[in-house]
Homo-oligomer: A and B are copies of this chain.
Amino acid sequence: MRDLFQEELVAINSDISQMAELVGKAINKATESLLFADREIAERVIESDILINDLASVLDERCTTLIAKQQPVAAEIRSILGSMRIATSMERMGDLAAHVAKSARLRYPARAVPDELVETFTTLGHLAEELTQQLSKLVTNPDVTLAQIIQKADDRVDAIHRELFRIVLSPDWQHGVEAAVDVTLLSRYYERFADHAVSIARRIVHVLTGEPYIDTVLH
């Protein structure tokens, strides 16, 4: 009974790690579709989101069954519930990647982001991908230091998000309302993406160390 239980926990962690990889690939490709106004890549990101959603459903069911059949103790229940929430956050990160791709598709054949902001969005894309890579490591090898690295990457995303607002709202903005709206929403997608990564990292550290869990996503 206990062996089966441990096997299931390992399988759940492996599913989460796989989700992190898919989400990382999704945000990488979404950013590519955005920066190169590549409709084909955008379509593929949007389609592949179904896969991430399906994985989240499977994981959810697996966790529910585990609680129902194996009667885990309180600490184990907390850990399983944590995994379910991590899956939900990752699903949402996949959706946000799909939102970026949808913005790219909407403006095709034009690019949704003006020339002067290509570098900024390239950085956002790199940071978002880095976050998922760190998350994937954190899931298979929980480590407080990695969680801190994730927090720092999120701080950088937040700083860029604020900077983009400043640029869009400055009197020097030459690209009109549509580009301003696009940049605002896109920036928010990356910001929320990073928030979810931090939320997941905190959840893992919470299970790992018993430190209180504070959810930044919700603020």
Contact = CB atoms under 8 A, between A and B. Distances in A.
A105 interface: no
A185 interface: yes
A90 to B, nearest CB: 11
Contact of A95 (B177, B184, B219): B219
B173 A177 contact: yes
A74 interface: yes
B91 A64 contact: no
Interface stretch (A19-27, A30-38, A65-73): A65-73
A27 to B, nearest CB: 16
Contacts of A69: 74
A168 interface: yes
Interface in A124-157: none
B184 A218 contact: no
Task: Sort A-B residue pairs by CB-CB distance and give the 6 closest, nearest first.
Answer: A68-B74, A177-B180, A181-B184, A68-B77, A169-B178, A95-B218
29 contacts: A53-B218, A64-B74, A64-B77, A64-B78, A64-B81, A65-B74, A67-B67, A67-B77, A68-B74, A68-B77, A69-B74, A81-B84, A92-B218, A95-B218, A95-B219, A165-B181, A168-B181, A169-B177, A169-B178, A169-B181, A177-B180, A180-B180, A180-B181, A181-B181, A181-B184, A184-B185, A185-B185, A185-B188, A188-B188
